[in-house]
Structure 1
Amino acid sequence: MKKTFLIVLFGLLSLYVKGQTPQLLRISENKKHIVNQDNEPFFWLGGTAWEMIHRLNKEEIDLYLTDRASKGFTIIQTVILAELDGLNTPNAYGHKPLIDNNPEKINEKYFELVDYVINKASELGMYIGLLPSWGDKFNLKWGPGPVIFTPENAEKYGELLAKRYLDKTNIIWVLGGDRMPENDYQYNIVMAMAKGIRKIDSLHLMTYHPAGAYKATDSFNVEWLDFDMFQSGHDRSAKEYNYVLKSHQVSPPRPVIEAEARYENIMEKFWEPGEHAWMDDADVRLTAYWTMLSGAAGYTYGCHDIWQMYTIGAEPISKARTGWKEALQLPGSRQMSYMKEILTSFPWQNMVNNQTLILNDNPEDQGYIVSAIGQDNDFIIAYTPMGRAIQLYLSKIHSNKIKAFWYNPRSGESVLINTYSTTEKPIFKPWATGRGSDFLLIILDINSAIQIP
């Protein structure tokens, strides 16, 4: 009975989330965000599904993509030549991606499932951030590899992929895969793959997924890099806002995306010996709002169980503990829907990070308050991760009076606090404090037509 119910439920969800075929994307004229062909801002709400193509069958792919589409996700990041022995362990249908592990000889049967993922995402109105390969195939570093790329075959592989997917409007090319080049040879492999794609394809955006604690522009401040990406990693000491601010200092200017932040349900600093705290939805919300209110063009949610599509009985990577289907319902992904809903209620693409709006003490710890103002000085959004009180420079708003709201990022609900003169300096105190008691303080011009959910 339960199985029948789920089939019906996801059938209805599939109908509900189906939208128009996604348009090709491009960079905005001001180089701060991504837009579609109608010049509408594209809100990058991503999901890491690195092993989706490698480990799931079509029914499971449908389940994952439909769930994410129903929650407002706009792009899914996944890999063709996957990390977890993606070359030598077949996919769910028994097919390996390459013939004799030769990047110039792709296996048509394996790539039919890649095609299926792209087409299914398109049906649901979503994009695929498509990694041609995980980084261990050009810089082993750790993991099974093997290293198979040279500059010569990387270029040919790039050409093959570009020809195959040239007519797909819902692809963004993402090179790299959790690695930075450590010598000229590895650098040249990446450059060659980009060259191979660009020989055929000048339509799709292209970027680079770096290793933890790096930005793409740390190695590739080059013409084919349409927008910057960073991986702040799975560390509560990371200051995600600094990656955004530092990216905006790079010339030429580009939008910047958080491509891999603190995963929900992962052990913090799992690479270090010993037991560590498990990360949760509070970590997800903190990294997301720190990132977006600092001026990023998008944020990618991750869950430790989902990226590897972990199932009971499989070897868990880094102590994965929850099956991926159950992990779909962890609270962090739903709360990303709320983030998208509240931010897209504003002209979010025109927000400007401004820390001088905050008048109270603001130590740079896990309770650090981040604030942004609309470019027309008609709204302020401030995020307090631990419920610390906020005092703002209200006179920055161009009106004589404002209305103030609390927004609860755990539930997607808001409440009007009061109205104030912009000459006042009230102290706004949330009703709860401590870890996980995060809030948005929203200040609007008294005459604003913006509707707070």
Structure 2
Amino acid sequence: MRRLRISPNQRFLQHEDGKPFFYLGDTAWEIFHKLDRDDIRHYADKRAQQGFTVVQAVCLAELGGLRVPNREGHLPLHDNDPTRPNEAYFRLVDFAVETLAARGMWTGMLPTWGDKFCKMWGEGPVIFNPENAFVYGKWLSDRYADAPILWILGGDRPATDAFEVETVRAMAKGIRAGKGGHHLMSYHPMGENSTTKYWPDEPWLDFHMLQTGHVGPRRLTEEWIARDYAHKPTKPVMDAEPPYEDHPRMNSDWSSFDGYHDDLVVRQAAYGAVFSGAHGHTYGCHPVWQMHRGGEPVNRARRTWSEALDLPGAWQVGHLRRLMESLPFFTRVPASEIVLDQPSERLERAVATRDAEGSYAMVYTPVARPVSVDLGWAKAPLALSWFDPRSGQHGPSQQLDATSRATLAPPPSGPDWVALLRPKS
């Protein structure tokens, strides 16, 4: 598989031969820890079929990762010492990385979950310091030098005090010093935060990640992405943890919940992010990230991981990837300024993107309502078609008579739709 690079305009990811790479991530934090080889094959087959390109996974897992052996009976470290990785444990990690690669997927590899360097909550214990973080980072880098890897530091934690900052920097330096230092690198922050806050201009960080999180009904992903898109210096941006499908809709302090996030929220977050300038997007499913098998779940998971693989949002995000890959890729820019007369309710506002060279514009409406659009960007008469984000199907094309402004009425079924505007052929 070809290596990944940042595009020349600093907005996208691409293969080293210049072909576009759309980061469509799935969240499988516990795959190395809780799945056996047959499970890994089953998971990889399904996610490849659904169109995912990246699987985000953690070497030192959150849920008892230093205390509970993996499915082959091995712990990741000898005596919880990051300078003494357990070869037997990492053979299963190798298998997972190779299995995903054989199906065309990259591994977004987190060397550790964040509680191992920043306790705050969770089991921990804190085992990292700047010295052993460098050693462990270099060891991983050497081991996965030739694998299709993206490095993701952090793990749902901030980096605010000097110890945490220097520990993360040391791990990044260790990775860069190893043979796999050429792989792209980012950082997974805690909820409702972004790497533009913690790491505004770190040389080791190739692209920014934010986490809008799981507080309901949903966060305004499009506003958060727009903020990070405007951050300088310019780097690609993405939401690495939006609301997970089938995750409880939590209140602000996580003391209670009101129902579960569904596929509509998944689509609203995904299209809101990408149309606002994100280079890609991560999907998550609550039973899948924790690889829930039954018994006591984390935070009210109500299905097993294998049952949850087929939830509708997991199929629908693949339609977004294929839509973006079907159009000019590297000239895409946010364009919500072309949407006129937005509603006062911010969660109902449409979001738009277009080709800077004028070959298309798209408007995503998260609710069933007509959208007024400024057509001043167009260089020729336009045709309109509607794209169904549930099925991935395009409706028939119709000519627009208007030349300066048009009101676009989506089909009656829905609620959400994508209006695709292109020069009339």
TM-score range, shorter chain: over 0.9
Deviations 1:38-93 (A, max 9, x none): 10110000000000000000000011111111111000000000000100100001
- TM-superposed deviation, 1:364: 4.7
Give the alignment's TM-score, normalised by structure 2: 0.96
Residue 165 of structure 2: which of 187, 191, 194 is its match? 187
- TM-superposed deviation, 1:237: 4.2
Give the 4+ runs in structure 1 shifted more than 4 A: none
Q: Secondary structure at the match of 2:230?
A: coil
Q: Distance in 1 between matches of 2:403 and 2:236?
A: 35
Answering whether residue 135 of structure 2 is matched by residue 156 of structure 1, we say yes
Answering whether residue 79 of structure 2 is matched by residue 100 of structure 1, we say yes
Q: Aligned partner of 2:392: which letter?
A: G
Contact 1:310 1:316 in 2 (8 A): yes
- Which residue in the other structure is 1:363 paired with? 344
Q: Secondary structure at the match of 1:106?
A: coil
Contact 1:403 1:416 in 2 (8 A): no
- TM-superposed deviation, 1:219: 1.0
- Which residue in the other structure is 2:209 paired with? 229
Residue 255 of structure 2: which of 273, 285, 288 is its match? 273
Residue 284 of structure 1: which of 257, 263, 266 is its match? 266
Answering whether residue 225 of structure 2 is matched by residue 247 of structure 1, we say no
Q: Secondary structure at the match of 2:125?
A: coil
Q: Distance in 1 between matches of 2:125 and 2:403?
A: 64
Give the alignment's TM-score, normalised by structure 1: 0.90
Answering whether residue 283 of structure 2 is matched by residue 301 of structure 1, we say yes
- Which residue in the other structure is 2:418 paired with? 440
Q: Secondary structure at the match of 1:426?
A: strand
- Which residue in the other structure is 1:173 paired with? 151
Q: Distance in 1 between matches of 2:336 and 2:171?
A: 40
Cα 1:402/1:110, change in 2 over 3 Å: same
Contact 1:402 1:444 in 2 (8 A): yes
Residue 199 of structure 1: which of 165, 177, 180 is its match? 177
**TM-align CA RMSD:** 1.4
- Which residue in the other structure is 2:237 paired with? 256
Q: Distance in 2 between matches of 1:126 and 1:334?
A: 16
Q: Distance in 1 between matches of 2:103 and 2:366?
A: 33
Q: Aligned partner of 1:406: which letter?
A: W
Which structure 2 residues correspond to residues 112-127 of structure 1 after superposition, within 5 A? 112-127=91-106
- TM-superposed deviation, 1:431: 2.9
Gaps of 5+ in 2: none
- Which residue in the other structure is 2:297 paired with? 316
Identity across matched positions, percent: 39
Contact 1:397 1:422 in 2 (8 A): no
- TM-superposed deviation, 1:415: 1.3
Give the number of equivalent residue pairs.
421
Higher mean displacement: 137-146 or 242-251 = 242-251
Q: Secondary structure at the match of 1:398?
A: coil
- Which residue in the other structure is 1:344 paired with? 325
- Which residue in the other structure is 2:196 paired with? 217
Q: Distance in 1 between matches of 2:218 and 2:310?
A: 26
Q: Aligned partner of 1:124: which letter?
A: R
Contact 2:250 2:256 in 1 (8 A): no
Contact 1:297 1:349 in 2 (8 A): no
Deviations 1:299-353 (A, max 9, x none): 000000000000122x200101101111011000100111112221111332111
Q: Distance in 1 between matches of 2:297 and 2:213?
A: 19
- Which residue in the other structure is 1:14 paired with? none
Q: Aligned partner of 1:202: which letter?
A: G
- Which residue in the other structure is 1:451 paired with? none
Residue 117 of structure 2: which of 138, 141, 149 is its match? 138
Q: Secondary structure at the match of 2:17?
A: coil
Contact 1:370 1:384 in 2 (8 A): yes
Residue 396 of structure 2: which of 403, 416, 419 is its match? 416
Gaps of 5+ in 1: 1-21, 448-453
- Which residue in the other structure is 2:89 paired with? 110
Answering whether residue 47 of structure 2 is matched by residue 47 of structure 1, we say no
Q: Distance in 2 between matches of 1:33 and 1:380?
A: 18
Cα 1:424/1:160, change in 2 over 3 Å: closer
Contact 2:23 2:54 in 1 (8 A): yes
Answering whether residue 406 of structure 2 is matched by residue 426 of structure 1, we say yes
- TM-superposed deviation, 1:411: 1.3
Deviations 1:204-254 (A, max 9, x none): 111101111111121112000011111111133411112221112222110
Contact 2:218 2:265 in 1 (8 A): no
Deviations 1:3-27 (A, max 9, x none): xxxxxxxxxxxxxxxxxxx211011
Residue 364 of structure 2: which of 383, 401, 415 is its match? 383
Q: Distance in 2 between matches of 1:416 and 1:369?
A: 22
